[in-house]
């Protein structure tokens, strides 16, 4: 199994949906910031990574750790890479997942 580096690319907010559905004072995700880095060893959830985010894309991390590649050849040019986000529709966080050398 390979290790997979998970990097937070950005935290975003959907202002229109937040205005319509969000609780007063809701802001960007409080758990992650752009530049945060986690390493999945053997496809497992790294400590400190949001559980909801892991539920959304952990299967891709496991696939990368298992040697999978080229999930979306029409969208992503690099074969050992996955760009994913958590499932928070109001304030999603975007992650880059890539295999790394041990």
Distances, alpha carbon 7 to alpha carbons 17, 20, 27, 61, in Å: 26, 30, 21, 12
Looking at the structure of the chain, the number of domains it has is 1
Average pLDDT, the chain: 92
How far apart CA 93 and CA 26 sit, in angstroms, is 15
Q: What is the largest CA-CA distance in the chain?
A: 46
pLDDT bracket for residue 102 (50, 70, 90): low
**Secondary structure of residue 65 in the 3-state scheme:** helix
Average pLDDT over residues 52-69: 92
Q: Structural domain of residue 38, as residue ranges?
A: 3-100
Share of the chain above pLDDT 70, in %: 99
């Amino acid at each position: 199994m390979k290790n997979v580096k998970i990097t937070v690319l950005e935290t975003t907010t959907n202002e229109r949906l937040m205005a319509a559905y969000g609780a007063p004072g809701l802001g960007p995700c409080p758990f992650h910031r752009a530049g945060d880095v986690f390493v999945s060893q053997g496809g497992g959830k790294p400590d400190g990574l949001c559980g909801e985010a892991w539920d959304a894309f952990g299967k891709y991390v496991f696939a990368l750790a298992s040697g999978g590649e080229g999930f979306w050849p029409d969208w992503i040019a690099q074969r050992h890479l996955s760009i994913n986000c958590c499932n928070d529709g109001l304030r999603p966080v975007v992650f880059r997942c890539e295999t790394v050398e041990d």
